[in-house]
Amino acid sequence: MPHTVSREIHLKSRPRFLPSREDFEIVEVPVPRPENGQVLVRNLFLSVDPYMRGQMVEQARANSFALGKPMDGACVGTVVESKRPDLKAGDYVLAEKSWRELYLSDGSELKKFEPDGLPVQTWLGVMGISGFTAYLGMLEVGKPHSRETVFVSAAAGAVGNTACQLAKLKGCRVIGSAGSDEKVEWLRTHGGIEAFNYKKVESIEGALKHLCPGGIDIYFDNVGGPHLEAALESLKTFGRVLLCGMISKTEADGRPFPLTNLNLAVRKRLTLTGFRASDHLHLFEQFSSDMRRWIEEGKIAWTETIVDGLENAPDAFLGLFRGENLGKMLVRVE
Amino acid sequence: MPHTVSREIHLKSRPRFLPSREDFEIVEVPVPRPENGQVLVRNLFLSVDPYMRGQMVEQARANSFALGKPMDGACVGTVVESKRPDLKAGDYVLAEKSWRELYLSDGSELKKFEPDGLPVQTWLGVMGISGFTAYLGMLEVGKPHSRETVFVSAAAGAVGNTACQLAKLKGCRVIGSAGSDEKVEWLRTHGGIEAFNYKKVESIEGALKHLCPGGIDIYFDNVGGPHLEAALESLKTFGRVLLCGMISKTEADGRPFPLTNLNLAVRKRLTLTGFRASDHLHLFEQFSSDMRRWIEEGKIAWTETIVDGLENAPDAFLGLFRGENLGKMLVRVE
């Protein structure tokens, strides 16, 4: 049977904590032509995301990545050849089959979509899981009211940036922190957000107190660590903390950042809520339609960082932990 | 004008962190006879509570105790002499005028109540703010369902004990921790609670894992610190943490206990909610009627530790931080 060849990035070894290039290897695998009921898909864009680190490190988790296999994550591809009536060559599909060029599928794991004028990679970012995570956290969990003050960390990241935009859309005052002047500049000029470079302030707590002397109502936490500690100091009574991720836990030696002021949650009657978008997929259609409309109305600004070439996917992924992405970090598979 | 003399315990100095006997002094003050519109009240029982420490330490807080004055807290008294039509000698009143024997009042700060067959001090404990705090936290915030597993720290304390009873009443399996074998024994035999002595287990985390291999649904936190850390490890996905108080922060040197695993709140999509009963006083009538009924039905077990004599109020209060109370800690004013 004739076959083609696909390059894949495999997980070679489990990092103890932070992954490095040596944990990945690129391999070539044969991909057969599709049989009846199958389609052959070529990936166009891959999403690399911080959560993948956890599934690399721990073998015991139900969803751990397997050694010697590609790390499955969100990707956008196009159908190359179809032996299914519901899909034809040229169709765009979303799947969780990333870190490879080509794959066969029986269709069950594919979600066909119409780009409808937007770049296809948007379905990995603002129209995809990043946007949905921001939507879910900020709107469904946070429920911001007009004129509330909202603080978002990693505000130039894929989720953070959309979280900022959604809070702004609800009439909130939005403060964002980011780790470079370039990101701060983007947030200010394109995002319409009050932003500061947390690496250049004396303390995050001081910066927040200065920017929000009246306190903050909602903190959308993408990082944990010193940002969370500072936000707890600035939150108003009955404030809400939306716990989306704690990349700050990712210190060089993997030691968790100790939080020393959670007692403020009692004194100020705060609510801290951990959430994950995938628990709420019943809201995805509503999200898609809302987000599409807001984009058309020009209410959502976003950006992306695109790394070219499957072979550079590990660098793109590792770059997330060095804050190298402005907006969504994507790999263009060429 | 003839007057009587009352002894009062005054705040003499602000402790840096943990209070000591030297921070209090006992003084005699003259109390005039009531004028028209006034009543003279004799305190019968005073409530001493951990939250008072915070109001001693910090001068800046709106509700800080003043130096050279009694520390106002909940108390039960009886009217000695009345020049008001709505109160007569012998009436029982609740007030926030503790740490003294006698006081004059214009009535506005008094809440008359009928003991109705229960000991008067019950209105400082299970029928009062301790019971209401447990009710509010466990039932209104926690919303336990039948057959859920609930863990309560400081389970032999005034709030913790009632929290256990309420969860049991809702059909939950209840695990309690306490700091002495005597408390554990009381919880088991009188409270009907599975209890362990946290000072005698190798680790709280291990004890919880052993007792609840399937995990816990709700953690009612009265202490913070290692208990909270252990509970975060044992909580199930979508578990709830009810943050009532963090007496563990009260280490000898006042340094806060560092929490190193709040990242689990993201991974397990936990909700942590700080609450204070006084925010929800509109529910107090509902609480009173519910609790009264449950007591009559024999569904609520409780106990109390009574220290005799106003002069011993500082020792009673300091004893809270050494875990000397089984159930509600009270001072009988003689």
pLDDT digit string (tens) for A128-153?
999 999 999 999 999 999 999 999 99
Q: How confident is the model at residue A252 (pLDDT cuts 50, 70, 90)?
A: low
Res B2: pLDDT: 61
Supply the DSSP string of A213-241, one letter for each residue: TT-EEEEEESS-HHHHHHHHHHEEEEEEE
State the Cα–Cα distance between residues B66 and B102, nearest whole angstrom: 19
Determine the distance in angstroms separating the CA of B275 from the nearest CA of chain A, rounded to an integer: 5
- Can you give the pLDDT at residue B215? 98
Residue in A259, A263, A266 nearest the CB of B262? A259
pLDDT bin (cut points 50, 70, 90) of residue A243 is: very high
Q: What pLDDT is stored for residue B258 in this prediction?
A: 86
Q: Tell me, what's the pLDDT at A71?
A: 92
Closest chain A residue to B51 measured between Cα atoms?
Answer: A267
Per-residue exposure over B205-216, b if at least 16 CB sit within 10 Å of its own CB, e if not: bebbeebbeebb
Considering only CB atoms, which chain A residues are within 8 Å of B244?
266
Interface residues of B toward A, Cβ cutoff 8 Å, are 54, 224, 228, 243-246, 249, 255-263, 265-276, 279
Closest CA–CA distance from residue B171 to any residue of chain A (Å): 26
The predicted model scores a pTM of 0.91
B257 residue type, one letter: F
Say if residue A167's pLDDT is above 90: yes
What confidence score (pLDDT) does residue A300 get? 96
Query: How many C-beta neighbours within 10 Å does residue A208 have?
Result: 26
> In chain B, how long is the greatest CA-to-CA distance?
70
pLDDT tens readout for residues A31-88: 999 999 999 999 999 999 988 988 998 776 778 899 999 999 999 999 999 999 999 9
Q: pLDDT higher for A16 or A217?
A: A217
pLDDT band for position B253 (50/70/90)? low
Q: In which band, very low, low, confident or very high, does the pLDDT at B197 lie, cut at 50, 70 and 90? A: very high
Spatial neighbors of B218 by CB under 8 A, at least 6 apart, are B138, B142, B144, B148, B149, B150, B151, B167, B172, B239, B240, B241, B242
Nearest CA among B215, B213, B224, B177 for reference residue B196:
B177
Per-residue confidence band for A112, with pLDDT thresholds at 50, 70 and 90? very high
What is the reported pLDDT for A247? 65
Q: What's the rounded mean pLDDT across residues A16-44?
A: 95
DSSP-derived 3-state class of residue B44: strand
Distances (CA, A) of A70 to A54, A111, A130, A228, A307: 15, 20, 21, 34, 18
Predicted pLDDT of residue B116: 87
Chain B hits for A271, CB-CB cut-off 8 Å, are 271-274
Chain A nearest-CA residue for B244: A266
pLDDT of residue A160: 96
- pLDDT at residue B3 in the model: 76
pLDDT tens digit sequence for B263-319 = 999 999 999 999 999 899 999 999 999 999 999 999 999 999 999 999 999 999 999
Q: Helix axis angle, A225-234 relative to A204-211, nearest 10°?
A: 40
Residues B325-333, mean pLDDT to the nearest whole number? 95
Other CB atoms within a 10 A radius of the CB of residue A334 amount to 10
> What pLDDT, in 10s, does the model give residues A259-314?
999 999 999 999 999 999 989 999 999 999 999 999 999 999 999 999 999 999 99
pLDDT (tens digit per residue) in B144-167: 999 999 999 999 999 999 999 999
pLDDT in tens, B27-67: 999 999 999 999 999 999 999 998 898 899 877 677 889 99
Tell which wins on pLDDT, B253 or B185.
B185
Distance from CA of B23 to the nearest CA of A (A): 24
Ordered domains of chain A (ranges, CATH): 3-124+303-332 (3.90.180.10), 129-278 (3.40.50.720)
Tell me whether residues B267 and A243 touch, CB distance under 8 A.
Answer: no
What local confidence, expressed as pLDDT, does residue A248 receive?
Answer: 60
The answer to whether the CB atoms of B263 and A272 lie below 8 A apart is no
At residue A256, does pLDDT exceed 80? no
pLDDT, residue A329, reads 96
Give me the residue label for tokens 């922190």: A177
Beta strands in chain B (DSSP E): 3-11, 24-32, 39-47, 75-82, 92-95, 102-105, 111-113, 149-152, 173-178, 194-197, 216-221, 235-243, 271-274, 304-308, 328-332
- Going by pLDDT thresholds of 50, 70 and 90, the confidence category of residue B257 is confident
For residue B325, pLDDT beyond 60: yes
Residue B224's CB is within 10 A of a number of other CB atoms, namely: 24
Cross-chain residue pair A268–B274, CB shorter than 8 Å: yes
* Both tokens assigned to B160: 């913790």
Q: Is pLDDT of A253 > 70?
A: no
Answer yes or no: do B274 and A265 touch at CB < 8 A: yes
pLDDT tier at B82, thresholds 50, 70, 90:
very high
**Cβ contact A271–B266 (<8 Å):** no
Residues of chain A that touch chain B, judged by Cβ-Cβ distance less than 8 Å: 54, 224, 228, 243-246, 249, 256-263, 265-276, 279
To the nearest whole percent, how much of chain A has pLDDT over 90?
86
The vertex-A133 CA angle with A130 and A136, nearest 5°, equals: 150
Q: What is the ipTM of this complex?
A: 0.90
Please name the member of B228, B260, B265 whose beta carbon is closest to the beta carbon of A243.
B265
- Provide, as residue numbers in chain A, all residues whose Cβ is less than 8 Å from the Cβ of B246: 262-263, 266
B260: nearest CA partner in chain A: A258
Closest alpha carbon within chain A to B246:
A263
In this complex, the residue of B224, B269, B270 whose CB is nearest that of residue A279 is B269
CB contact under 8 A, A259 and B258: yes
Average pLDDT value over all residues in chain A:
93
Which site among A272, A276, A278, A279 would you substitute to test the B interface, given the most B Cβ atoms closer than 10 Å to its Cβ? Answer: A272
- Give the whole-number percent of chain B exceeding pLDDT 90: 86
Q: What is the mean pLDDT of chain B?
A: 93
Question: Is residue B329 predicted with pLDDT exceeding 90?
Answer: yes
Return the pLDDT at B254.
63
Q: Which pair of tokens denotes residue B31?
A: 């109390």
User: Chain B: residue nearest A55 by CA?
Assistant: B267
